[in-house]
Structure 1
Amino acid sequence: MSSIDSIVEELSSYSEFHAKKCTEIIKDKGLSEALEYCSSQHVAPPQCSLTAESKNADMLRAKATRMLCDVKWWKRRLSIQGAQRFEHEKIKTGNVTRFISDEALEYQFNKRRRR
């Protein structure tokens, strides 16, 4: 297993923890606190308005709530974060000769092949 795979796997392993944590936060403190928690984990939260009063706004809040409580949603976001973190470290150390490191290119190629 390459180092990018291990970083992505490590971060993805926290997806269940974050989903449970968001479920607790939503029950105790509400959606706005859960969105802040998501941001504090350096993951872009789902987009929704907390103040708008419309059928669409209610639908988006319900969707955001479902996303934040979903293990798969967290796993996807944390996998992306892990790959970006790996690539950023490669860029900082000067190991990227083209637009993408060889390890990240191989990871993306294998990821597509698995689908």
Structure 2
Amino acid sequence: MPLFKLQTNVPSTKIPANFLESTVEVVAKTLGKPKSYVVATVLPDQLMNWGGVDGPCGMVSVESIGALGRDVNKKHSKVISDHLLKTLGIPADKCYINFVDLNKANVGYSGTTFDDLL
């Protein structure tokens, strides 16, 4: 059930048409999760400034049941940062990525929770 949420000052007109689809692919691959469970969302046109300097920047939240942790988050951070630079022009040093490891009992889906599904 991975969830990728990006808030960015990149204008909606500069978000490629396939950005969400390509982001789902990237997140599924790096986390080792089925693509069918990954949700990606982007909030463009945010009033944001990084360190007093104008330019593309963002904040990302990656939520997942498992597949996160101290060592693997370094890999995930690199993969996601590379994707944001390539697709949106957001440099790695202008984007925070927060990783949130969710408890499967606290995530509802299909009328139950992942505690019952997994």
The answer to whether TM tops 0.5 is no
How high is the TM-score relative to the length of structure 1? Answer: 0.24
Higher strand proportion (structure 1 or 2):
2
Larger relative contact order, structure 1 or 2 (CA cutoff 8 Å, min sep 6)? 1
